[in-house]
Homo-oligomer: A and B are copies of this chain.
Amino acid sequence: MESSAAMGNMFTAGERLAKRFGAENVYNFSIGNPNVPAPASVRKALVRIAGETPEVELHSYTPPVGLPEVRKAIAEHDREEFGVDLSEKNIFITAGAAAGLNAVFLTLLDEGDEVIVPSPYFGEYQSYCNSVGAVLVEAPVDQETFQLDVQEIRKAITRKTKIVLINTPNNPTGVIYNEEVLRDLADVLNDKNNDLGIDITLVSDEPYRDLAYAGAKVPFIPKFYDNTIIIYSFSKSLSLPGERIGYVTVPDTIHDFKDVAAAMGTANRVLFVNAPSIIQRVVAECIDEKCDVEYYARNRDTIYEGLREIGYECAVPEGAFYLWMKSPIEDETVFVEKAEDYGIIMAPGSGFKGPGYVRLSYCVDHETIVKALPKFKELFEDIKAGV
């Protein structure tokens, strides 16, 4: 999900370029919203549930942490998927991942606490920190692989560190953190916990978990570090971003499970009361479904291979629907502006605290990518030629 300020600007760029070149000659890679429809089973479930469920039952408040049968369906699905012990009590249904993160922050953070975030990162994390008075501390990722740089994280940890917040598959880089780097991260966190007498919670924001390509898989992170909370959303896997439905997994291994679980219930109640009642029922019924992930996979192959062939340097996009590309001009905002002359819209990396790079969202019509590649080539050649 984009920051709406950024989205606002991008919409404006889209309109401006459409006027200049005609809408069919605009290649907008700046908007991170699913363009693949929800699976047909979603509509079917929605119409049936909306048509058949008695009104009062259908539209009543649910418990703040979600309907028991929906929590159970999710727990059973994830237990099987990850081969771990999870039940209803570990699952807290929230109004999307943003709501989940806000609830976790309200649960764990006090004014002045520090949250370490590998950079580049999704800009809204700063707002979530602000809203609870926490301090966001950046820890740059490895500049070759865009995997976590655990030594940077180690350096950033202080006595005030409460949370390390990672996002995998990553927005904006498209990278999935691998088992090796997660094991290293766990070692660093355990070391620092011992050294400083603190107890860091690892929070893994995974709204793109089911968009993973070429056999890549997002590991179940509590296997590496006990004190981990996972945040998930159905926005991408079921293409339901506007309906606000996701969940937080608080595994049994979390320290002080009972306290955290109780506080999550309170935070969720205070902030959102409950995730929308109808949609809770729909996702329970469609828990084994996915949107057409192959569509994104095909887009990913075409854009990544196409851009590399031209000569652009890109991070290997393993998941989500983002490509992180090095700007061939040092100041990437100049590059983004120049690209507009070719009808291309991209998000400058500075918005993600990753200057020198641009983010391309490939949740677009495949045809847009195919038609854009020659334009990217022209742009690249003109830059190299100093035009």
Count this chain's copies in the assembly: 2
- CB under 8 Å from chain B, chain A span 32-75: 33-38, 42-43, 46-47, 50-51, 54-56, 58-64
Q: Chain B residues near A131: list those with CB within 8 A.
A: 106, 132, 270-271
Chain B residues lying within 8 Å of A270, measured Cβ to Cβ, are 98, 102, 124, 127-128, 130-131
User: Are B56's CB and A243's CB within 8 A?
Assistant: no
- The verdict on A349 contacting chain B, using a C-beta distance below 8 Å, is no
Interface residues on A, range: 35 or more
Expressed in whole angstroms, the Cα–Cα distance for A34 and B47 within the complex equals: 23
From B239, B241, B243, B277, contact of A242 by CB (8 A): B277
Flag whether A348 is at the interface (Cβ < 8 A): no
Pair A3/B269 contact, Cβ less than 8 Å:
yes
Chain B residues within an 8 Å CB radius of A34? 56, 60
Q: Cβ of A306 < 8 Å from any Cβ of B?
A: no
Tell me the complex Cα distance, A131–B107, Å.
10
Task: Find out whether the CB atom of B241 lies under 8 angstroms from the CB atom of A61.
Answer: yes
A307 CB within 8 Å of chain B: no
Say which residue of B4, B42, B59, B98 sits within 8 Å of A239 (CB atoms): B59
> Is A274 an interface residue when CB atoms closer than 8 A count as contact?
yes
Do B273 and A1 touch (CB < 8 A)?
yes
Contacts A33-B61, A56-B34; is A244 near B272 (CB within 8 Å)?
A: yes
Specify which chain B residues have a CB less than 8 angstroms from the CB of A60 in the assembled complex. 33-34, 241-242
Contact with B along A123-162 (1 / 0, CB 8 A): 0100110111100000000000000000000000000000
Chain B's nearest CB lies how many Å from the CB of A3?
Answer: 7
Residues of B within 8 A of A47 (CB): 47, 50-51
Question: Given the complex of chains A and B, what is the CA–CA distance between A98 and B3 in angstroms?
Answer: 23
Bound Cα distance A273, B271 (Å): 12
Chain B CB count within 10 A is highest, among A62, A241, A265, for A241
CB-CB under 8 A for A54 and B37, given A95-B95, A276-B242: yes
A115 within 8 A of B: no
CB pair A271 B98 closer than 8 Å: yes
A266 within 8 A of B: yes
A278 within 8 A of B: yes
A202, chain B: closest CB distance, angstroms: 22
- For the complex, what is the distance from the CA of A128 to the CA of B272, rounded to whole Å? 11
Q: How far is the CB of A266 from chain B (nearest CB, A)?
A: 7
- Whether B54 pairs with A127 at a CB distance below 8 angstroms is no
A314 touches B (CB below 8 Å): no
A96 contacts chain B at the CB level, 8 A cutoff: yes
In the A-B complex, the 9 residue pairs with the closest CB atoms: A242-B277, A37-B55, A276-B276, A127-B270, A46-B50, A38-B55, A61-B241, A59-B240, A98-B273
